[in-house]
């Protein structure tokens, strides 16, 4: 897996995260408005993130991208893919800069990540695990064609998208 590569969409550049991105990722992960619906909303420390990054670099089952707006060069968030087994990859996403929300950037980067998963990682399906109260994330997933599965528990729902690869 090429962790330094990435993909472009119409307005965004998404490239594999690097150690130099640690500060901005830790800043975004320290903002409760970004993480309140995460499975683990605890803020990250720089030290913990850098320790995690060492194991991430050798992990073939996960890739995270830093997302930049092509026109302004502004870093706005992250999108990630994690191997959930059986050809299914879980997509996660965050627009870390609240001022960048509501522009369709998240939809664009998640759509790009789904194509990347199908074409580069051989994913047969994508999965998103979304808090039942995270309405903007639910709208996003449904807009991209994800379908909800029956509720697992009271708080998190699984959304699935079957992806087509060539052939």
Which two structure tokens, joined as six digits, stand for 90? 């879980």
Q: Is 117 in the site for ligand COA (CB under 6 A)?
A: no
Residue 24 is a binding residue for ligand COA (CB under 6 A): no
10 Å CB burial of residue 53 (0-12, 13-18, 19+) is: middle
Interaction between residue 140 and ligand COA (CB under 6 A): yes
Residue from 107, 124, 158, 160 binding ligand COA (CB under 6 A): 107
Exposure string (b/e) for 1-24, b if CB count within 10 Å is 16 or more? eebeebbebeebbbbbbeeebbeb
Does position 136 interact with ligand COA (CB under 6 A)? The reply is yes
Candidate residues 15, 24, 30, 134; the one interacting with ligand COA per rule CB under 6 A: 134
- Please classify residue 72 by burial: count the beta carbons closer than 10 Å to its beta carbon, then call 0-12 exposed, 13-18 middle and 19+ buried: exposed
x-marked contacts with ligand COA along 43-82 as a string, rule CB under 6 A: ----------------------------------------
Q: How far apart are CA 83 and CA 88, in angstroms?
A: 6
Q: How far is the CB of 2 from ligand COA (least distance, A)?
A: 25
Residue 114 as a binder of ligand COA (CB under 6 A): the answer is: no
Is 165 near ligand COA (CB under 6 A)? Answer: no
- Yes or no: say if 105 and 121 are a contact pair by the CB < 8 Å rule: no
Residues that bind ligand COA (CB under 6 A): 34, 37, 93-95, 101-107, 128, 130, 134, 136-137, 139-140
């Amino acid at each position: 897996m090429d962790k330094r590569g990435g993909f472009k969409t119409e307005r965004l550049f998404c490239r594999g995260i690097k150690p130099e991105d640690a500060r901005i990722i830790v800043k975004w992960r320290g903002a409760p408005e970004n993480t309140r619906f995460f499975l683990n909303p605890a803020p990250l420390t720089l030290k913990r993130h850098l320790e995690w990054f060492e194991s991430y670099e050798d992990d073939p089952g996960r890739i995270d991208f830093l997302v930049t707006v092509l026109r302004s060069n502004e870093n706005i968030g992250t999108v990630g893919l994690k191997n959930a087994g059986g050809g299914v990859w879980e997509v996660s996403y965050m627009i870390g800069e609240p001022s960048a929300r509501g522009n369709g950037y998240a939809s664009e980067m998640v759509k790009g990540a789904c194509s990347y998963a199908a074409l580069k990682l051989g994913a047969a399906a994508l999965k998103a695990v979304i808090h039942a109260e995270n309405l903007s994330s639910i709208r996003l997933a449904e807009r991209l064609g994800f379908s909800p599965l029956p509720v697992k528990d009271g708080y998190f729902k699984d959304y699935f998208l079957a992806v087509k690869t060539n052939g």
